Amino acid sequence: MRDATRKACLVAGGAGFLGSHLCERLLDRGHEVVCLDNFFTGSKRNIEHLLHHPRFELMRHDVTFPLYVEVDEIFNLACPASPVHYQHDPVQTTKTSVHGAINMLGLAKRLRAKILQASTSEVYGDPQVHPQREDYWGHVNPIGHRACYDEGKRCAETLFFDYHRQHKLRIKVMRIFNTYGPRMHPNDGRVVSNFIVQALTGKDITLYGDGSQTRSFCYVDDLVEGALKLMDTDDLIIGPVNVGNPVESTIRELAERIVELTNSRSVIVYRPLPSDDPMQRCPDIARARAWLDWEPQVQLEQGLRSTIEYFDRLLGRPAT
Ligand code: NAD
Ligand code: UDP
Ligand code: UDP
């Protein structure tokens, strides 16, 4: 017989960067994990070490198609997160966000299961309010190159709140700010993985624009802790909740930090800023502090060191 405290959790996008860490933590907590992925940006390698775990199950499936499984909790992370990948097939990105949300919400509705949406700071677009609080509605270009992702994620939030109001679904909406760490794909295209791989392989560090744009970087362990805490809150807490690190740095500072930490001889080169690239990003995490009793524990330098070690091993170089 199944232990009453043991839950069956579906992690859609479970073979991705964040999903694989989440699967691991859920197994550590004694739960059963169904990891679903279409392997668009995720990889079996990320969850290889879990494949033989008796409480772990892997399903190849695309969330844009209906899914019939039996679970207690659903974490919907299925969606490419890097601009390079989500802009590769923008129509598919919107379908994944919108049809994927509808299917996951339909599943949750049939099962009366709790469901968490991995939303994003991109719902704020290129923000005119700083730092971003959850009650800010954002400044998004609806027809630009980032819109497939930004508007897709905004529509998914709308669907979550409408299923909550209309069908009394138990929802949790988490707005994730830039998160980095081991298991980012080396060709993921996001800034932390790009700079580390470039620095470790002695290639030029590609700084887009003049590097004065800012981001705030959250280490993956902190992010996963935030997701678990949000899922565990009582049903009155539905979000949205910003989860991210409020320590802001310019992209140029990040590049210099990574060159220094890797003792690299790489030089920084300047490339054009992609269109609609937000100038400033920093979460106000007062809500996460108050509602989840959560705040990031890992400092940027510490997180960068572990990420550098990971890429060092992956690229087959001895750690520096
Ligand atoms: P990722 O690309 O590593 O993971 C996404 C996973 O979803 C991949 O394994 C991919 O194969 C899978 N996927 C994509 N489309 C799918 C589909 N149609 N059906 C099934 N699986 C599909 O990215 P990540 O950084 O782990 O992001 C996970 C989630 O968190 C995403 O929803 C992303 O939008 C959100 N998020 C991440 C960040 C971040 O900084 N990492 C920031 C904001 C939001
Ligand atoms: N759905 C699913 N699994 C389920 C139940 C529903 O994938 O267990 C999908 C199905 O494709 C459906 C969508 O979720 O179209 C939305 O479900 P809902 O019940 O809200 O709407 P309806 O079935 O009335 O379209
Ligand atoms: N960026 C950069 N060089 C790179 C990759 C990204 O300068 O090789 C910049 C990018 O233009 C943006 C910031 O770093 O201003 C963060 O980019 P990322 O793709 O990681 O995430 P997002 O723009 O979605 O926050």
Q: Do the domain assignments include residue 49?
A: yes
pLDDT tens digits, one per residue of 66-106: 999 999 999 999 999 999 999 999 999 999 999 999 999 99
Whether 302 and 261 have beta carbons less than 8 Å apart is answered as no
pLDDT tens digits, one per residue of 108-156: 999 999 999 999 999 999 999 999 999 999 999 999 999 999 999 999 9
As beta bridge partners, residue 120 has 176
Q: Do the domain assignments include residue 73?
A: yes
Q: Do the domain assignments include residue 176?
A: yes
Count of the separate structural domains present in the chain: 1
Q: Do the domain assignments include residue 202?
A: no
Give residue 234's domain range: 8-180+218-245+280-297
pLDDT in the model for residue 180: 98
Q: Does the beta carbon of 277 lie inside 6 Å of ligand 3?
A: yes
Q: Do the domain assignments include residue 76?
A: yes
Instruction: Label residue 320 by pLDDT band (50, 70, 90).
Output: very low
Q: Does the beta carbon of 198 lie inside 6 Å of ligand 3?
A: no
Give CA–CA dist 214/130, Å, rounded: 11
Q: Do the domain assignments include residue 293?
A: yes
From the list 111, 100, 50, 47, the residue with the least C-alpha distance to 76 is: 100
Q: Do the domain assignments include residue 138?
A: yes
Q: Does the beta carbon of 42 lie inside 6 Å of ligand 1?
A: yes
Q: Do the domain assignments include residue 315?
A: no
If one residue of 10, 71, 74, 109 were mutated to test the ligand 2 pocket, choosing by the most ligand atoms within 8 A of its CB, it would be 109
Q: Which residue has the tokens 């979000």?
A: 239
Q: What is the CATH number of the domain that holds 75?
A: 3.40.50.720
